[in-house]
Amino acid sequence: MKSLKGRDLLSMADLSPEEVLAILRLAADMKSGDTHVRCERVLGLLFQKASTRTRVSFSVAMYQLGGQVLDLNASVTQVGRGEPTIDTARVLDRYLDVVAIRTFEQKEIETFASYAEIPVINALTDLEHPCQVLADLLTIQEEFGALNGLTLTYMGDGNNMAHSLMLGCALVGMNVRVACPAEFMPDAAVVAAAQKLAGDRTDVLITQDAQLAAKGSHVVYTDVWASMGQESEAQSRVPLFQPYQVNAEVMELADPSAIVLHCLPAHREEEITDEVLEGEQSRVWDEAENRLHAQKALLAMILGVD
C-alpha cells in the first residue's frame, strides 16, 4: 500500500502496469469490505470546473478513510481573484496532506505540483482524466475478471477521456480503439505515448470508422460531444458526431458479452441513446459508484497508510 507514497498522479502515464493493478486490487478489497483503512489526513479540492461525481466521490472517500475535506473552489478562495498558481501551491502545501485539482490546462496542474511537496492528483484537466479511468478499469475487471486481452472502443470526441483511456488500456494489456471525426482526433503526442506503452502486447487504433472500431469490442465507451468550456460548440458538432452515437446498431457489432460505459453526465439521444444507457449491457451506474472505491484506494496508497 506504500508503493505510491508521496507521489503525484497527473497522468495515467505516471503509473506502471503493476501500480495500476495494485490500485484496482485494493479498491476491490475495500469495496468488498475485506480491507479497512484509516487515514486521518486532510484533502483539499481545488476545482475550477463544475463537478458532481469527482467532488462527491473524493469527499466521501476521504471521510470514509477517517480524514477531512476542504472544498477550495475558486469562488471562496483567492484563486478566483487571480492569485498565481505558484503562490497558492506553496501556501496550501503547508496546510494540506494531499490536493486534488480540477482545472483547464494540464500545464497549470503540472506547475502546481512543481511548487508543492504534497501529492497532487489530477481530478480532470482538458488533457486527461486519470481518476475516471481507474474507476473504468475497476468496472471492467468486475465484469470480465481480468483485463489483459480485452478490447475497449471509445467513440466520440478525442478528448481527455480518450487520452486517459488510451494510456490506461495500454498499461493493463487491453486493446483500445478510438473512433472520431477527422477534425476531433486525439492529441498525437498522447497517441504516441499510448502506442509506446502498448508495445507489441496490444493495439492502439485511431480511426474515423465507427463500425470498424465497434466490431467485436468488449467495452463500448462514450462521452459528451462537447466538453466543459466547449458548450457553445455543442449544437454545431452534432451532425459531425452523429455517426459515432452509441446505439443498438453499434452494440450489435460489439461482442455479445460487451458492456457500455459513459463517464457522465450523459446527453441522452446525442452521444448515447436512452435505450442503451438504461439497457442490460450498461454498467454506467456501477462505473459511477466505482469512482468512490478507486479514489479511496488511490488516496490510501498515495498517503502511505498502513
H-helix segments, 93-199 = 106-115, 130-144, 160-172, 188-198
Please state, in angstroms and rounded to a whole number, the distance separating the CA atoms of residues 78 and 76. 7
Most distant CA atoms of the chain, gap in Å:
54
DSSP 9: B
8 Å CB contact between 119 and 6: yes
Identify which of 270, 216, 279, 229 has the alpha carbon closest to the alpha carbon of residue 246: 270
Q: Which of 263, 283, 293, 295 is catalytic?
A: 263
Q: Does residue 102 have an active-site annotation?
A: yes
| 129 labelled catalytic | yes
Please, which residues bridge with residue 221 across strands?
154, 261
The residue annotated as part of the active site, out of 8, 126, 157, 223, is 223
Is 106 a known active-site residue? no
CA-closest candidate to residue 202, choices 251, 148, 245: 148
Q: Which of 55, 102, 237, 283 is catalytic?
A: 102
Select which of 41, 53, 55, 129 is catalytic: 129
Q: Would residue 291 show up in a list of annotated catalytic residues for this protein?
A: yes
Q: For residue 42, what are the β-bridge partners?
A: 68
What is the separation of C-alpha 266 from the centre of its chain, rounded to a whole number of angstroms?
15
> Catalytic one among 39, 48, 97, 132?
132
CA 135, CA 129: separation in Å to the nearest integer?
11
**Residues designated as active site:** 102, 129, 132, 223, 263, 291
